[in-house]
Amino acid sequence: MSIPVHTLPASPLRVAVAQAPLVPLDIAANAATAAALVRRAAAQGARLLLLSELFLTGYETVGIAADPDTLTVAPDDPRLAPLAAACAGTGTAVVVGAPVRDRDTGTLHIAALALDGSGRTAAVYRKQFATPNERAAGFSPGTGGCTLELDGWRLGIGVCWDSGFPEHARAAALDGAHAYLVGALFGTGPGAHQRRTVFPARALDNTLYVLLANHVGRSGPYTGCGLSAAWGPDGHLLAEAAEDAPELLTVDLDPAVLARARTDDPVLLQPGLTTTPTRTTATLSTTGGAGSCAMGKRATAHITAQPEPS
């Protein structure tokens, strides 16, 4: 059952996002990189580190699908041991992108693993909006959302294209999320424009903090545009990494700022927010007559035009 969206944390939370070059299809090497980043984030006081989509393999969907026995990750995977040890040694949690496979069905998913401050895999979120290319490569969409709880903060999790669907972040917000954390691969070119457009909108739409961890440099067939970042609950940019270099950012999530944003713009308390109102369709014509949009009914009609006189 969802908690009320107006329930706020009692104290600030420092979180980190990082972008780093990866070794293609080398889970052990990338887990070691993630472990080092956890220790760096902890040294800066972060309670959680967010890493990019498929961080543990790189965005190598074709290679993963060709050898899922080797290139998918399980919660008890021994290759995660250095990362789990870093979390346990610092008390800092991590959300890291990885490919997973359902043990019963063999279905492949692009996922985000959440390891808590004891090193335990606390959650596995499966990307709900797999892209057409990902589905063609053999990856299936997940069927449910995921919210993490840390120090009184509720953190909704997304993976890349999830963020392109407003209802995904809205579902997290209606589940009481105070922040929306997305590991992604946005490439140079159109991807850079998408990340500049989508993430402040998700923050403003739902009056929550939004954090993005992106790839930097080559990853599979794409070149990540970097620019990992954080936005406040009013949509303003708080911190942003470089386009073409490794970087780790920290940001403080402040309950007072969250409360002010939700007081100034109480979108999550709007009556009827979770219902779909009826819609009507009216015919527009260039000839005389009147149409109407009758409330409570749904109709289908065509837009028509009479030929012009010769």
Buried b (16+ CB within 10 A) or exposed e, 277-299: eeeeeeeeeeeeeeeeeeeeeee
Question: Residue 179 belongs to what H/E stretch?
Answer: strand 179-183
Q: How far is CA 106 from CA 68, 78, 296, in A?
A: 9, 20, 46
Strands 237-240 and 229-231: antiparallel
- The angle formed by the CA atoms of residues 92, 94 and 99, to the nearest 5 degrees, is 160
Residue 127 known to be catalytic: yes
Catalytic residue among 87, 146, 160, 225: 160
Amino acid, res. 39: R
CB atoms within 10 A of CB 6: 12
With H, G, I as helix, E, B as strand and everything else as coil, classify residue 101.
strand
Phi, psi of 63 (to 5 degrees): -65, -40
Which of 266, 269, 260, 255 lies closest to 152 in space, CA to CA?
A: 255
Catalytic residue among 60, 127, 146, 225: 127
On whether the CB atoms of residues 128 and 168 are closer than 8 A, the answer is: yes
Residue 247 known to be catalytic: no
Residue 308 known to be catalytic: no
DSSP state, residue 165 = S
> Radius of gyration (Cα) for the chain, nearest Å?
22
DSSP state, residue 296 = T
Give the ranges where the chain is alpha helix by DSSP (H): 27-43, 61-66, 68-71, 81-90, 132-137, 166-174, 190-206, 255-264
Catalytic residue among 53, 60, 134, 247: 53
Tokens describing residue 254: 């402040």
Catalytic residues: 53, 127, 160
